[in-house]
């Protein structure tokens, strides 16, 4: 999963720039949903017929064209031509990218990573979303249907007299980005809880498989980091664009998104440091355990080895071992053995070995 960007880019090697090839792995059929909205009215249409799309787009008002699934590259290519997108924009929508913002004469293009938490597998999935914002139109491209976009569409359709309807597509654009970044916090919270629970486990009783768990979390944190860091630049750049695409009204909101991105980054860095410290505890716990095992062995050995020697000594078969025939020989030896054991025990007690 994690190196999908790289695989996606490697697959492109040898192809001319601007040639449309979908290099990802999800095989969702393409769905085009059109939304036309003004302060007063709002209409939605779902079609794959380009003529219908074309007719729909000729109507006045704000347009949101949502393309979900990349199976049907043709229709995406036609939409691209309709909106006169640069060949590289079209290519970038279909290829794994680092989050980025490109400014063109008549539109801005943003690629973002979207994270979804898989509750069952306790890991997150990374996908990519492409957004094209022009004057009164917004195109969104994703490799499959997205829940969070559906919610915003429903909100938009729910009625007039709300900011979404009163503002132009730049506010809608902000709302999509905001929803995407809110998802990061959901993933971060889940990961944080995973870290917290592993921490408790490692501190109380370190087991072999914990280190793998730690490693998996470290790896996921690295992936998150790789996805979220470039967002900082993108959102910062967005907040510094001139008024052409983003109104002053929306810019205030984008600044807020920037703060959230920084908060997410801070949290990831903190997770990373915590995971590093947890590896240290784990290692020290292992050595501690080794110490304990060795102490057990040493105590048993040092108690029994000397008295076993004494027993072996009087098991020798020399003829002139007169002490064997002494009346108090046997009890004396027993007493010596007991004293030896007691001496050893006092020694270990002093060393606080048990």
DSSP bridge partners of 63: 36, 137
* Residue ranges in 76-135 that form contacts with a copy of itself under rule CB under 8 A: 86, 88, 92, 97-98, 100, 102, 104
For the bound state, the minimum distance from the C-beta of residue 47 to a copy of itself, rounded and expressed in Å, comes to: 29
Alpha-carbon distance of 123 to 146, in angstroms, equals 18
The answer to whether residue 274 forms part of the interface with a copy of itself (CB under 8 A) is yes
Residue 270 binds a copy of itself, judged by CB under 8 A: yes
Pick between residue 3 and residue 159 the one whose CB is nearest to a copy of itself: 3
Closest CA to 97 of 232, 220, 7: 7
**Cα–Cα separations (whole angstroms), residue 100 to 35, 47, 206, 237, 240:** 25, 29, 42, 9, 14
Q: Which of 106, 118, 277, 338 binds a copy of itself (CB under 8 A)?
A: 277
Shortest distance (Å) from residue 78 CB to a copy of itself? 20
Q: Which of 19, 24, 26 has the alpha carbon at shortest distance from 6?
A: 24
Instruction: Please select the residue that binds a copy of itself; options are 31, 36, 143, 267, rule is CB under 8 A.
Output: 267
Shortest distance, CB of residue 82 to a copy of itself, whole angstroms?
20
Interface positions, 317-346, toward a copy of itself (CB under 8 A)? 317-321, 324-325, 327, 329-330, 333
Strand 137-142 and strand 62-68: the pairing is parallel
Q: Which is nearer to a copy of itself, 136 or 151 (CB)?
A: 151
| Binding of a copy of itself by 313 (CB under 8 A) | yes
Task: Pick one of 160, 291, 335, 346: the residue that binds a copy of itself (CB under 8 A).
Answer: 291
Taking the C-alpha atoms of residue 139 and residue 130, their distance in angstroms, rounded to an integer, is 8
Q: Is the dihedral of CA 230, 231, 234, 240 positive or negative?
A: negative
Q: Does 308 bind a copy of itself (CB under 8 A)?
A: yes
Q: What is the DSSP string of 196-251?
A: HHHHHHHHH---HHHHHHHHHHHHHHHHHHHHHHHHHHHHHHHHTS-TTTS-HHHH
Binding of a copy of itself at residue 203 (CB under 8 A)?
yes
Interface region with a copy of itself, contact rule CB under 8 A, candidates 35-43, 47-55, 76-84, 225-233: 225-233
Q: Considering only residues 55-74, where is the footprint of a copy of itself by CB under 8 A?
A: none
**CB-CB neighbours of 162 under 10 Å:** 12
Cβ of residue 344: shortest distance to a copy of itself, in angstroms?
9
Minimum CB distance to a copy of itself smaller for 75 or for 142: 142
Strand ranges in the chain using DSSP code E only, listed in sequence order? 31-37, 42-46, 62-68, 100-103, 107-118, 123-134, 137-142
């Amino acid at each position: 999963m994690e190196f999908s960007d790289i695989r996606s880019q490697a697959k492109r090697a040898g192809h001319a720039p601007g040639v449309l090839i979908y290099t990802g792995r999800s095989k969702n059929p393409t769905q085009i949903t059109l939304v036309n909205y003004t302060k007063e009215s709002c209409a939605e249409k779902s079609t794959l017929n380009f003529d219908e799309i074309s007719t729909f787009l000729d109507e006045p008002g704000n347009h949101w064209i949502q393309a979900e699934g990349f199976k049907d590259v043709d229709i995406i290519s036609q939409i691209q031509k309709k909106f006169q997108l640069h060949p590289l924009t079209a290519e970038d929508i279909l290829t794994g990218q680092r989050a980025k913002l490109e400014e063109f004469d008549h539109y801005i293009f943003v690629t973002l990573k979207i994270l979804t938490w898989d509750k069952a597998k306790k890991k997150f999935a990374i996908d990519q979303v492409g957004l094209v914002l022009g004057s009164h139109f917004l195109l969104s491209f994703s490799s499959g249907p997205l829940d969070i976009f559906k919610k915003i569409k429903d909100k938009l359709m729910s009625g007039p007299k709300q900011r979404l309807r009163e503002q132009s597509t730049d506010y809608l654009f902000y709302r999509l980005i905001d929803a995407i970044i809110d998802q990061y916090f959901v993933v971060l919270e889940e990961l944080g809880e995973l870290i917290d629970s592993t921490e408790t486990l490692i501190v109380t009783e370190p087991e072999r498989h914990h280190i793998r768990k730690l490693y998996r979390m470290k790896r996921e944190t690295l992936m998150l980091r790789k996805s979220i860091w470039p967002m900082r630049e993108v959102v910062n750049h967005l907040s510094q664009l001139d008024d052409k695409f983003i109104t002053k009204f929306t810019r205030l909101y984008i600044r807020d998104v920037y703060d959230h991105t920084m908060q997410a980054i801070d949290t990831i860095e903190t997770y990373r440091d915590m995971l590093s410290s947890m590896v240290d505890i784990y290692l020290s716990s292992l050595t501690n355990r080794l110490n304990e095992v060795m102490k057990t062995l040493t105590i048993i050995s040092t108690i029994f080895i000397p008295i076993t020697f004494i027993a072996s000594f009087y098991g020798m078969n020399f003829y002139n071992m007169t002490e064997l025939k002494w009346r108090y020989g046997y009890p004396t030896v027993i007493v010596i053995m007991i004293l030896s054991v007691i001496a050893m025990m006092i020694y270990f007690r002093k060393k606080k070995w048990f």
